[in-house]
Chain A
């Protein structure tokens, strides 16, 4: 009886995650560009560089997106990684990619957090 219950729980988790993934994929498709950077932050970052107008409705440029992602990456790093350990120094990108994959499994950080932290830690 117990083992059946456990099996049922595992399967439910499996399929639940599966359907959630499918639903999220569908939901995210049309707004990938808009959701990745915080547009307000992007505009601020771009303004501080002096490379783009500071208007809130300005179209995000690749540079402003990168700046916003870096800011967001640092925020995610502090929220997720520092829960367990002190900040390590930054390593080259390919090393960080492995470390982040390891931490994705170990600390169960989300896909989006992983991507932003990797960008922050390797640049």
Chain B
């Protein structure tokens, strides 16, 4: 009965929202005639995009080969709808005793498959399987062509559920409060699912962020309540700062939960300001990440370290083009299970294919 009531209220809310119709290109209400002529040329077309990569890792001296392919399909419908999905095929190939060569299984993951309805300029309603919005890494920085270091942060598995995704519904949006401050928010509910590969936990949560465009600073917080098992809470904060005068990005996340806690901070500096070898330097990026993980009073997921762990990483990326990148990193991990070095070398490539007429530039 309560569930039916919930759905009725949500449906009423959605219907009410749809009354506040505002075209997505709201400004076109006051546009000049030539802009109206362009509108057909700006009609969105389905696209297939994604990335491919090959990473070689020496983890404590053991070599691993990691081919990865990620495909994203985006299908816009009308002015307000978007169907989007991302799937990944990857393998962790290792040398097995007594056998030659590298062997490993191909893992398939449906990371998200969601329908988005842009109800108005300040609210988007999402339903389906979506990336769990905790902090910034899982939703924004995870793809292999975006991340500055090839490895995941140690705290990434906290709260994001199996396959880093949730199954349910989500409300999200962003708006300017003043010209100097904008707010973004997400509220979601996820249902429990043990149906492979769409597994998820029963959770509800919110995330909100404040962005100051002049300072190029975003700060925000996340909260999640687990509606199963121990019914615990998770708290997190995140920040991104790009000093306007420097080609420097500083990103950080802190998460606290009963299944584990920790933080990471990651500065990345593009060498474009150096006065020599300008072309090469502007393509080169130095990255570092400092992180710590602390075990909680409850057992975490299999992807979390079993003991308190600290890790420092340093990497160099070289961008041949905007989509093709060579990446390398060195990390040192400290834990009571033993310290180890982790070296990674790889190449990532991002592609985009329009699935229809793409318009004239």
B interface majority secondary structure: mixed
- In the complex, chain A residues whose CB is within 8 Å of the CB of B245: none
Asked if A56 is at the interface of the complex by the 8 Å CB criterion, the answer is no
A interface majority secondary structure: helix
What's the least CB distance linking A65 to chain B, in Å? 7
- In the complex, chain B residues whose CB is within 8 Å of the CB of A92: 354, 358-361
- In the complex, chain A residues whose CB is within 8 Å of the CB of B10: 10-11, 14
Q: Judging by beta carbons under 8 Å apart, are A110 and B175 in contact?
A: yes
Q: Judging by beta carbons under 8 Å apart, are A102 and B359 in contact?
A: no
Q: Judging by beta carbons under 8 Å apart, are A108 and B174 in contact?
A: yes
Q: How large is the interface on B (under 10, 10 to 19, 20 to 34, 35 or more residues)?
A: 35 or more
Asked if B20 is at the interface of the complex by the 8 Å CB criterion, the answer is yes
User: Closest A-chain residue to B124, C-beta based?
Assistant: A105
Asked if B213 is at the interface of the complex by the 8 Å CB criterion, the answer is yes
Q: Judging by beta carbons under 8 Å apart, are B225 and A17 in contact?
A: no
A68-108 CB contact bits vs B (8 Å, 1 = yes)? Answer: 00000000100100111111111111111111011011111
Question: What number of residue pairs across chains A and B have CB atoms under 8 A from each other?
Answer: 201
User: Closest B-chain residue to A87, C-beta based?
Assistant: B322
7 more A-B contacts (CB under 8 A) besides A18-B123, A111-B175? Answer: A21-B20, A85-B145, A86-B322, A91-B358, A96-B42, A105-B172, A108-B173
Among A106, A110, A114, the residue within 8 A (CB) of B139 is: A106
- Chain A residues with CB under 8 Å of chain B are 2-3, 6-7, 9-11, 13-15, 17-18, 20-22, 24-25, 28, 32-33, 36, 62, 65, 76, 79, 82-99, 101-102, 104-115, 118, 122-123
Q: In the complex, A102→B29 CA distance in Å?
A: 23
Q: Judging by beta carbons under 8 Å apart, are B121 and A24 in contact?
A: yes
Q: Judging by beta carbons under 8 Å apart, are A101 and B123 in contact?
A: no
- In the complex, chain B residues whose CB is within 8 Å of the CB of A18: 13, 16-17, 20, 120, 123
Q: Judging by beta carbons under 8 Å apart, are A13 and B47 in contact?
A: no
What's the least CB distance linking A112 to chain B, in Å? 7
User: Closest B-chain residue to A65, C-beta based?
Assistant: B32
